[in-house]
């Protein structure tokens, strides 16, 4: 990480937890060297198909502290600049609607024309939007751009 606060960027991961199906969330590692209880922020939707889901942020969080975390399914998505975290929340997480109720109390599907929209689909929509808006970046692209800029300065 750089010493200039405007240049600080964080790793972004897709994390999964045991469930039927597995629960999926976005984890931004804001402090990789912190104690186990203060590693980053978890962005996800929680709830169920009967009552619908709501968007939540868990701060000061480390997925590895959860007994149902599945480490082998963690995947790095990209990076985010520290300055872009508020944009990510406002323009992506809060912009993509959480999954609504999709089952009636008697377990009949509401809206038979589409597949269930769950936490994993919400996550993919948020990630796609974050990349489209330039909030998430591919680390290789950022590294190549920085190397090019350094060569131009020489």
Domain ranges within the chain, ordered by starting residue: 5-153
Q: Check: pTM over 0.85? Answer yes or no.
A: no
- pLDDT reading at 149 higher than 70: no
With cut-offs at 50, 70 and 90, classify the pLDDT of residue 90.
very high
Cβ atoms within 10 A of the Cβ of 7, count? 12
With cut-offs at 50, 70 and 90, classify the pLDDT of residue 34.
low
What are the distances in angstroms from CA 22 to CA 66, 69, 70, 114?
14, 10, 9, 20
Q: What is the rounded average pLDDT for all residues in the chain?
A: 87
- pLDDT reading at 154 higher than 50: yes
Q: Please say whether the dihedral angle defined by the alpha carbons of residues 41, 25, 16 and 143, taken in this order, is positive or negative.
A: negative
């Amino acid at each position: 990480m750089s010493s200039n606060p405007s240049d600080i960027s964080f790793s972004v991961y897709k994390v999964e937890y045991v469930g039927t199906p597995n629960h999926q969330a976005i984890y931004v590692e804001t402090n990789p060297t912190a104690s186990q209880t203060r590693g980053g922020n978890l962005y996800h939707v929680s709830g169920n198909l009967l009552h619908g889901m709501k968007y939540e942020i868990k701060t000061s969080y480390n997925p590895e502290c959860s007994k149902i975390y599945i480490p082998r399914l963690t995947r790095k998505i990209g990076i985010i600049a520290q300055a872009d975290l508020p944009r990510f929340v406002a323009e992506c997480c809060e912009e993509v609607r959480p999954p609504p109720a999709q089952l009636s109390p008697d377990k009949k599907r509401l809206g038979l024309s589409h597949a269930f929209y769950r936490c994993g689909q919400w996550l993919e929509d948020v990630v796609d939007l974050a990349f489209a808006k330039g909030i998430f970046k591919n680390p290789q692209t950022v590294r190549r751009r920085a190397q090019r800029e350094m060569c131009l300065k020489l």
